[in-house]
Amino acid sequence: MYSQKVLDHFRNPRNVGRMDNPDGVGKVGNPVCGDVMVMYLKIKNDIIEDAMFETFGCGAAIATSSIATELIKGKPIHEAQNITNKAVVEALDGLPPAKMHCSVLAEEAVKSAIEDYEKKRNEGEGKPAESA
Amino acid sequence: MYSQKVLDHFRNPRNVGRMDNPDGVGKVGNPVCGDVMVMYLKIKNDIIEDAMFETFGCGAAIATSSIATELIKGKPIHEAQNITNKAVVEALDGLPPAKMHCSVLAEEAVKSAIEDYEKKRNEGEGKPAESA
Amino acid sequence: MIYLDHNATTPADPRVVKKMLPYFSEKYGNPSSVHSFGQEARAAIEEARHHIATLMHCHEKEIIFTSGGTEANNLAIRGTLEATKKKGRHLVTSSIEHHAVLNVFKRLEKEGYEVTFLPVNSDGRIEIQTLAEALRPDTVLVSVMTANNESGVMEPIEEIGFLLHERGILFHTDAVQAVGKIPLDCSSLPIDLLSASAHKFGGPKGAGFVYCRKNIRINPQIVGGHHEKGRRAGTENVPCIIGMGKAAEIAHQEINKEVFRIGALRDKLEEGILKSIPEVRIVSKNVLRLYNTSLVLVKYVEGEAMLLNLDFEGIEVSSGSACTSGSLEPSHVLLACGYPHEDAHGSIRFSLGKTNTEEEINTVLEVFPRVVEKLRKMSPFKAQSLT
Amino acid sequence: MIYLDHNATTPADPRVVKKMLPYFSEKYGNPSSVHSFGQEARAAIEEARHHIATLMHCHEKEIIFTSGGTEANNLAIRGTLEATKKKGRHLVTSSIEHHAVLNVFKRLEKEGYEVTFLPVNSDGRIEIQTLAEALRPDTVLVSVMTANNESGVMEPIEEIGFLLHERGILFHTDAVQAVGKIPLDCSSLPIDLLSASAHKFGGPKGAGFVYCRKNIRINPQIVGGHHEKGRRAGTENVPCIIGMGKAAEIAHQEINKEVFRIGALRDKLEEGILKSIPEVRIVSKNVLRLYNTSLVLVKYVEGEAMLLNLDFEGIEVSSGSACTSGSLEPSHVLLACGYPHEDAHGSIRFSLGKTNTEEEINTVLEVFPRVVEKLRKMSPFKAQSLT
Ligand SMILES: Cc1ncc(COP(=O)(O)O)c(C=O)c1O
Ligand SMILES: Cc1ncc(COP(=O)(O)O)c(C=O)c1O
């Protein structure tokens, strides 16, 4: 059912855990549907220096979260922002049709975390430091 | 499917063949239906001295013909006339439901042969010998 | 490997396979053949029918062979509806049936029947009062399973049957998870139709049966030759039917031996889990359940993720029902019992069988808490934080 | 024993049984189970599907597993009729189909379809012209068998298919007697649906398949879980499917080897019979037939009586079709070919297979004339006297 790559990322997920003081956080999904992903980013000079995740979900949900952090680490945010679920699926050597939505969730988690970072930065730029 | 008794009578049918100068002959069934029985009787003093048969038909048709000749040999005709298909079936330790009609055919063959004998006798009694 | 997925399928008992083996390449006759070689196969499947009738306390003629439990359910329900003289367009089933029953009723609904899908209480049981209220003058058939495949909960089929028979309504029960595991006596149970599947009780995949009470008319769903007295066409699966017969014979002799041993192992497993893992619960723990089944809800983690991690450690279990895999829906059984979606996603089913040992249970009790801990560490939800 | 009843059923090839064996008690996982143990069984049945697709020159997705040929016919015909968008109430089949097709159409007739049962010519073949004239604007589906089980006669399925495809009519062929015996190439044949059965070509009883051309919609006839991509529910019969796959692999490799050897034996048998027994005839002798089948009509004696006598001598054959046993009707195939009832009652079918040897044929040629002579002595009909 799952490729070796999926099983590997599920079994030994990379970059798992909650990040202290992240620069951006994206939370997507919903426990009713059975998948929740939280993506944490550390960003310096528009480069993603570190990425971590926490996921409640099936094997595919955990594997896509893991591979997504790998894919974006070290990348400029404008590149990471263009991550597609297709790229996630390819990096995992495929996903079963019923699990494709997990790759979409991973894409959304990355985008939402970057958005959060940009929102915070804009707020930080536009307002005096003490209001942050 | 068939009892040992049926198979035995089918394999080694008793009294098979055409009889020379029978006193009564009964022919029942019809090749279209797949079964034809001819029963030949030799009768002396109203006792069935000999019975023979020729049958075109399935295993059950041949076995019922054979057992029927056995059942009536040595019997007075008024007894043989009361032969039932049930008696034939019992004597064979049963028949499959789809083959029950063969036992009816055997009963009819016996009755028809006796009828033929009686008809001939009546004709013989009522008319001068030379007209026979 | 520690196999704890016996409700999905069981290994065929070696005695079963031994009995089947000559019928593939040696005594391979077609039971419909008139010659003695065919009749030898015929005699063997009739012997199998005898063993099944003995297990079920019914007459041989009341047993119709099928290719499995799903086909048995389809035949029992559709076949009698087509044949019954009582006209009526209302049917009743429960909302926790296996898909092999649920989808038959959904199809019938499309064809114009009205179907009531009965709710269950929080224990997962049909309440007689609820059923009684659902019945209508035009109700023709009710189907309620004997034991649920996910939770193991036993439904009150005896009470249900008596109620229905008073009203002249046909009663079918999907006993796929019960036959061979618990004694069922069709001569005294108020059941008209019952479905079973060989591979759930030590027989091979590819054979099942419908018990159809004498005088209940049933139309074949697969038509063709005059097999099974015109109730199911197709060359009989001789080896698998013989295997099912042997499995029935073994079950009949050994049912009582296994109940207590397996039940004790299951209880040990449940106690161990409750003791070592916080925030878990056993579904319908205090209700009459199959002695081999344990459905565990683990908070903050998802079922498949637990299943796969256990699989990595050589422990085979199921999350919800194996037969619904590929579906993203959480178990319809848990939802019907009133569990919220988020809890229903976190279910793991352990189902034990004959070959399981205490040692295996000890291993599971060592591994499972570790797996849950690992996954909870990855989870964005922590104790008391799930909303 | 000399087994000459291969059209009724064949022994499972020992290589087939060997391949199946581990899947009963060792690799017994449920292919729907998510764990690796279940996925191992899944991979094995997908490998079997691959072998079947290779044999049939089609795509794996076009193969739907069933429990046998009868179920395959039911699914192919009813399933597509339920799903097709082209509305129409007229169907066509032949009058020499197996009961597993005929009775599906009789059932459909009862449900409101109009069915034309096409006559065949005296050779037992459908004439294209007859078919063309039977077609109507509202004809939705035609089913004509690839090869007849009693006589071995091959129907002109290629011409039929081209005619039907021109008119957009679905074409199903019951290829139960052809698959594995002769090469069939679904990629070039104008066939939409085809049925097959494992036990007719060296596989086990209990498995069959429908080939369902891509883009042809088909409704499941057995509903339940989402097996076979929603086209046939029920836990897969893993060992039997694997066995069928192996039988397909063997057939694919060895078909060419066997055709000539078996064909020569069959021809020798026929020549010998014609030479040694007066007043016999071979049905459709000079028509394209399966190389393994010989249907012999013997005057003045009945088929079952010959069959049983041959059985006593250890020779297993069939009279008419094994699957209609229990019926008193003479073969509907012979009647359709125009033979009178009395001749049709006297039929014996020899059907050869891989394991048959020349020595066996010699024995038959020694025994069979004796059997006929014995029965003719008992018969009230003598040469030229049957009316
Ligand atoms: C309760 C129940 N009914 C029906 C079935 C279907 O039986 P089968 O797998 O033999 O088709 C199953 C198991 O899959 C089951 O657990
Ligand atoms: C032409 C034909 N179609 C269908 C069938 C039925 O196949 P099965 O016996 O696998 O149900 C048979 C054999 O019995 C057959 O010869």
How many Å lie between the alpha carbon of B1 and the closest alpha carbon of chain C?
7
Question: Looking at the domain assignment, is residue A127 inside a domain?
Answer: no
Is residue C179's pLDDT more than 90?
Answer: yes
Q: What is the CATH number of the domain that holds B16?
A: 3.90.1010.10
Nearest residue, CB atoms, B10 vs list D308, D345, D387: D308
Q: Where are the beta strands (DSSP E) in C84-226?
A: 90-94, 114-118, 139-143, 170-174, 193-197, 208-212
How confident is residue C386, by pLDDT bands cut at 50, 70 and 90? very low
Pocket perturbation via mutation, ligand 1, pick of D232, D235, D237 by most ligand atoms within 8 A of CB: D235
Residue ranges making up the domain that contains A23? 4-121
Rounded CA-CA distance D132/C85 in Å is 41
Structure tokens at D185: 């190439």
Cα dist from D137 to B53, D87, D141, D276, whole Å: 58, 10, 11, 53
Structure tokens at D249: 């692999």
List the pLDDT tens digit at each of the 132 positions of chain B: 899 999 999 999 999 999 999 999 999 998 888 899 999 999 999 999 999 999 999 999 999 999 999 999 999 999 999 999 999 999 999 999 889 999 999 999 999 999 999 999 988 766 554 444
Over residues C68-84, the pLDDT tens digits come to: 999 999 999 999 999 99
Question: Looking at the domain assignment, is residue B113 inside a domain?
Answer: yes
Question: Looking at the domain assignment, is residue B127 inside a domain?
Answer: no
Determine if ligand 2 sits within 6 Å of the CB of residue D265.
no
Tell me if chain A has a CB within 8 Å of the CB of C345.
yes
Over residues A72-112, the pLDDT tens digits come to: 999 999 999 999 999 999 999 999 988 999 999 999 999 99
Give me the number of domains chain B comprises.
1
Rounded to 5 degrees, φ, ψ at D235 are: -50, 130
- Structural domains of chain D, ranges and CATH numbers in brackets: 14-254 (3.40.640.10), 257-386 (3.90.1150.10)
A72-76, C329-333, D77-81, D324-328: the lowest-pLDDT one: D324-328
Shortest-distance ligand to the CA of residue C9: 1
- Answer whether D touches B (≥3 Cβ pairs < 8 Å): yes
Output the pLDDT for position A127: 55
Instruction: Tell me the mean pLDDT in the region D47-65.
Output: 98
Output the pLDDT for position D140: 97
Question: Looking at the domain assignment, is residue B67 inside a domain?
Answer: yes
Percentage of chain C exceeding pLDDT 70: 96
Strands D315-316 and D2-3: parallel
Contact D223 C1 (CB under 8 A): no
A13-17, C256-260, D34-38, D103-107: the lowest-pLDDT one: C256-260
Question: Looking at the domain assignment, is residue B131 inside a domain?
Answer: no
Rounded to 5 degrees, φ, ψ at C84 are: -70, 145
Question: Looking at the domain assignment, is residue A73 inside a domain?
Answer: yes
Looking at every residue in chain A, the average pLDDT score rounds to 92
CB-CB neighbors (< 8 A) of D328 in chain B: 33-34, 98, 101
Tell me if chain A has a CB within 8 Å of the CB of D39.
yes
Is residue A130's pLDDT more than 70?
Answer: no
Output the pLDDT for position D383: 52
Question: Looking at the domain assignment, is residue B129 inside a domain?
Answer: no
Is residue A46's pLDDT more than 50?
Answer: yes
Question: Looking at the domain assignment, is residue A130 inside a domain?
Answer: no
Compute how many other C-beta atoms are within 10 angstroms of the C-beta atom of residue A112: 18
How confident is residue D106, by pLDDT bands cut at 50, 70 and 90? very high
Do you know the residue count of chain B? 132
Q: Where are the beta strands (DSSP E) in B9-131?
A: 24-30, 35-44, 47-56
Residues in contact with D233: Cβ distance below 8 Å, sequence separation at least 6, in sequence order: C70, C99, C100, C103, D220, D222, D223, D224, D225, D226, D227
Instruction: Tell me the mean pLDDT in the region C198-219.
Output: 98
Over residues C307-358, the pLDDT tens digits come to: 999 999 999 999 965 444 445 678 899 999 999 988 899 999 999 999 999 9
- Under a CB-based contact definition with an 8 Å cutoff, are residues B3 and B93 in contact? yes
How confident is residue D330, by pLDDT bands cut at 50, 70 and 90? confident
Pocket perturbation via mutation, ligand 2, pick of D150, D157, D200 by most ligand atoms within 8 A of CB: D200
